[in-house]
Chain A
Amino acid sequence: MSIGTSPPRRDGPDKLTGRALYADDLRPDGMLYGATVRSERAHARILSVRPDPEFDWNGITVLTAADLPGPNVVTLMTDDQPILADGLVRHVTEPIALIAAPTRERALAAAKAVLVEYEDLPALLDPLTAEGHAIRIFGDDNVYKRIRIQRGERSTLTGHLVRARYATGLQEQLYIEPQSMIASPRPDGGIALVGSMQCPYYVDRAVKRMVGHDRVNVLQAVTGGGFGGKEEYPSILACHATLLAMRTGRPVKITYRRDEDLRCTTKRHPAVIDLATLVSDEGKLLELHAKLWMDGGAYHTLSTVVLSRAILHVGGPYRCPFVDLSGTVVATHTPPNGAFRGFGAPQAQWAMERHMDRVARTLHLDPIELRRRNLYRDGDITGTGQVLVAPGGFAVLESAERAAEAPVTRTTVRPGVTGARMAAGRGLALAWHGCGFTGNGEAKIKGKVGLEVRGSDVAILSSSTDIGQGTETIFPMIVGETLGIPAARAFNTPHDTGLVPDSGPTVASRTAMVVGGTCQKAAEQLLTLLRSRLGDGSFDALVSRWDPNWGPLAVEETYEVDPNIQWDPDTYQGDAYPTFGWSCVIVDLRVDLDTGEVLYDRVVTSTDVGRALSPALAAGQIEGGTLQALGWATAEEVVLDARGCMRNDRLTNYIIPTALDAPEMITILEEIPYAGGPFGAKGIGEIPMDAPAAAVAQAIERATGAILDTLPMTPERVFSALEPR
């Protein structure tokens, strides 16, 4: 059978030959091109929006907030973000007006010819002074959410107090396919959407609420990467394209240019994390005090949940008898931040892993031995009171260390750079990552999967999209294995909200583990249905004897939360996650002492994946996430101007790693099964983002003595931290 093997991905041939159709490849008959007029100010009253009389407006449609048919709200968690700014802008790049035109060039030109008159208002851009500031953005005090977790008894022992501040910057998801969406009028007066997205039902809900009726369906096009950047943001494009399609009666496509996408879409939340630990002489953590601030930007988006995951991961994979963890996510007049692979956990664990190195330095202990003395063991209790079952920290640490004994085979060079003075170093970091939604999140979502027997094949109906991670391949493998038929005879139907049930969003490392688990249960239900009429037998034998008069051979399964999971969202005590993944990363790098540039030679990762449903797909997730984390570590810096607008809004100056920058990778998949996941599988999509940056910092420290506590560790920052030689 196929579980544990790596068959070619189902969508591979179409993607490799260029046949796969992404949103921007589609061009329905009569289609117009949409464009967006955006705020040039951080905080301002809009005095007027008027078309430039010099411009040729023939054939062009312009819409503003006054043209909205329903509530001016992008439906997500909190009703604070308008679809189009109405009288006030709260961040630079905020949408003010929409254009539809016969060509893309005309649409872009028209957007520039909409004249907006502003009256500037004082803007609040600094997250560290936002809380309670006289300039109000959100609520009474600009705080989207505060969370505090306290547990355990203060230590009676004396120990070493180690405290420091750590920081991380914005990061862009940088899916290679920019945001794109097409809205088309339906014959019944409704709207059909097709676009690049992770979560069709987010879009479905947002558009239905705006138009005030249910004649809306949303189809995911082949999607060129998401990483969280296409979790919530596509709802905005969908609302905009829908407004233009309704007004013009024609299909309208909005595809962002790269510079626009970079300036206005969500990014990883920047964070400042203060940690203070009390540590015994032997290097045992006695107390951990954490204070964390995050910048949510001008609208709420998913910020409260990002903060939640940050706080729940800030202690790292280490036991500590007393924790006092608090966090605040605030509003500023900057473009809203949102979902990005890891969702707060990478920022928090960057701080804790750096702090472990600081503790080791203070106590003159080996940083890896210090980690070993504190790593969670079976039965340990987390900061939320969760009892850990079979934590994988030691397993991934040991297998990574073993693999790292192999000689490093690559010495990364910069073409054209010779005679550089280099210092080599190795660094190690550990991480844990809660799989799936926090606490009782799945109980609220009640994700569904449908199965239908169609001829000799089995159709899988879900809203879980493939954004590259392999859903189209994995779900058929799970269903085929459960039914006892080849995976090739099961297939995902198109992810169209008019046809598939809501499986919950494609986020939070939940698709294979939670929705895949629901696929397995659905297949079991299908077998039960067959056997209830026909007794035992193989799936094929039973199907061949099924009498259509008994009804369709179709089932729908709803995810059932493990009743043993207890979570109190008010006290933040209980089982924060159904299970955790574990990861260890060992980086070999060299630092160019003349430029501060970091060159990566090799990265070893060991990750507890529960069960590798497809080892190639699992390793692909980990390798890609690891490089994204290395980019965050040393290359990717979002530079904002005085208005909070991204200045380096191009791929020439927002630098992501190339094939030449990437290290050789050794990827180890540990399999400590999770009983609640299909065939033991855990979520793996996000954990590779957690540990690499801290391993890089430790390696730089070992190579050069330079201590860096702020991300990204750009050449400039590394160079400044180098001891003068």
Chain B
Amino acid sequence: MNIRFVCNGKPTEVETPPMARLLDVLREDLRLTGSKEGCGEGECGACTVRIDGLTVMSCLVPVYQVHGTVVQTIEGLAADILHPVQAAMLAHGGAQCGICTPGLCMSAAALLESDPTPSREAIRVALAGNLCRCTGYQKVIDAVAGSLVEDR
């Protein structure tokens, strides 16, 4: 099936079975390997991307569902300079092994668009679908909270 969508700002066309996982199309067909597979069943959030602004686990999305949509992956979050969330994660030590980091950044960026001044509790809720085994989340939450302070 021919699937057309906008991926990270670029018109994109792939020929693929309609039920192929969006994650596989991104990683294998488009070689956008920043979205990671940690579990393959929507629990870990390492494959988080945005479809028309909404955060989704790309391992759970059949690719036909993105036909005609705008998809953003971690590769499209920042252009030349880091997104404020990425910059804050770097400054606060929010990334360690890094495998969950792209997904966390996508969820955090989406949160800040809908709620520019979230409480720490709201940040925890927004990131609860992104498992991290390295950080204990403390510096991740510091970073997301801090990315606001530095913006003001």
Seen from chain A, the residues whose Cβ lies within 8 Å of a Cβ on chain B are 6, 8-9, 11-22, 24-25, 27, 173-178, 222-227, 257-258, 410, 413, 415, 467-470, 616-617, 619-620, 623-628, 650-652, 656, 658-660, 662, 664-665, 667
Known: A8-B90, A664-B138. A469 touches B96 (CB 8 A): yes
Per-residue interface assignment for chain B, residues 92 to 122, with 1 indicating a CB less than 8 Å from any chain A CB and 0 otherwise: 1101111111100100000000000000110
A residues near B131, Cβ cutoff 8 Å: 176, 651, 656, 658
Select B93's contact among A6, A24, A177, A660, beta carbons within 8 Å.
A6
**Contact A468–B136 (Cβ < 8 Å):** no
- State in angstroms the CA–CA spacing of A627 and B96 once bound together: 14
Question: Is B98 in contact with A623, judged by CB distance below 8 angstroms?
Answer: no
User: Is A11 within 8 A of B74, CB to CB?
Assistant: no
In whole angstroms, how far apart are the Cα atoms of A692 and B128 in the complex? Answer: 22
Give Cα A656 to B44, complex, Å. Answer: 10
Provide the residues of chain A in CB contact with B32, threshold 8 Å: 18
| Residues from chain A with Cβ under 8 Å of B130 in the complex | 659
Q: How far is the CA of A619 from the CA of B34 in the complex (A)?
A: 26
- Residues of A near B46 (CB, < 8 A) are 176
**In the assembled complex, B51 has its CB within 8 A of some CB on chain A:** no
Asked whether A16 and B105 contact (CB < 8 A) given A176-B38, A651-B39, the answer is yes
Asked whether, in the complex, the Cβ of B82 is within 8 Å of the Cβ of A225, the reply is: no
> From residue A166, how far is it (CB to closest CB) to chain B in Å?
25
Contacts of B78 in A (CB 8 A): 17
> Helix, strand, loop or mixed for chain A's interface?
loop
Q: Say yes or no: B86 contacts A660, CB within 8 Å.
A: no
Given known A-B contacts A176-B99, A624-B133, A651-B41, A16 and B89 have beta carbons under 8 A apart:
yes
B128 contact from A651, A656, A659, Cβ within 8 A: A659
- Is B97 a contact of A667 with CB atoms below 8 Å? no
Assess whether A652 is in contact with B93, with CB atoms less than 8 Å apart.
Answer: no
7 sampled A-B residue pairs with Cβ under 8 A: A9-B93, A15-B95, A17-B82, A173-B133, A620-B96, A623-B136, A659-B128
Closest to A415 in B: B125
Interface string of B7-41 (1 = CB under 8 A from A): 00000000000000000000110001111111111
- Whether A16 pairs with B90 at a CB distance below 8 angstroms is yes
Shortest beta-carbon distance from A520 to chain B in Å: 23
A650/B43 in contact, CB under 8 A: yes
In the assembled complex, which residues on chain B have CB atoms less than 8 Å from the CB atom of A14?
A: 98
B137 within 8 A of A: yes
Residues of B within 8 A of A (CB): 27-28, 32-41, 43-44, 46, 73-75, 77-78, 82, 86, 89-93, 95-102, 105, 120-121, 123-125, 127-141
SS class, residues of chain B in contact with chain A? loop
Q: Which residue of B lies closest to A8 (CB)?
A: B90
Residues in B with CB closer than 8 Å to A469 are: 96
CB-contact partner of B101 in A6, A15, A410, A617, under 8 A: A15
- Provide the bound-state CA to CA distance between A177 and B77, in Å: 22
B139 contacts across to A, CB distance below 8 A: 616, 619-620, 623
Chain B residues with CB under 8 A of A628: 133, 136
* Contact status A177-B128, CB under 8 Å: no
- Taking a contact as CB atoms closer than 8 A, the residue among A24, A176, A617, A660 that contacts B97 in the complex is A176
In the complex, are the beta carbons of A660 and B36 less than 8 A apart?
Answer: no
Contact of A650 among B37, B39, B97, B141 (CB under 8 A): B39
Kindly list chain B residues whose C-beta atoms are within 8 Å of the C-beta of A257: 40
State which of B27, B28, B75, B129 has its C-beta within 8 Å of the C-beta of A17. B75
Contacts of B95 in A (CB 8 A): 9, 12, 15-16
A620 touches B93 (CB 8 A): yes
Q: Lowest 3 CB-CB distances: which A-B pairs, in order? A: A18-B34, A15-B98, A224-B99
| Contact (Cβ within 8 A) B135 A222 | no
Contact with A21, one of B33, B74, B101, B121 (Cβ below 8 angstroms): B33
Minimal Cβ-Cβ distance residue in A for B32 = A18
A617 touching B135 in the complex, CB below 8 Å, given contacts A650-B43, A659-B130, A660-B128 = no
**Bound-complex Cα distance A624 to B134 (A):** 5
Whether the Cβ atoms of B98 and A11 lie closer than 8 Å is yes
Per the bound structure, the CA–CA distance linking A17 and B133 in Å amounts to 19
Complex Cα spacing A83 to B126, Å: 44
Q: What's the minimum C-beta distance from A106 to chain B, rounded to whole angstroms?
A: 14
Closest B residue by C-beta to A631: B133
Rounded to whole Å, the gap between the CB of A346 and the closest CB of chain B is 16
Q: Is the CB of B33 within 8 A of A659?
A: no
Residues of B within 8 A of A617 (CB): 93
Which residue of the partner chain B has the closest CB to A262?
B39
Query: Contact partner of A9 among B43, B74, B90, B99, CB < 8 A?
Result: B90
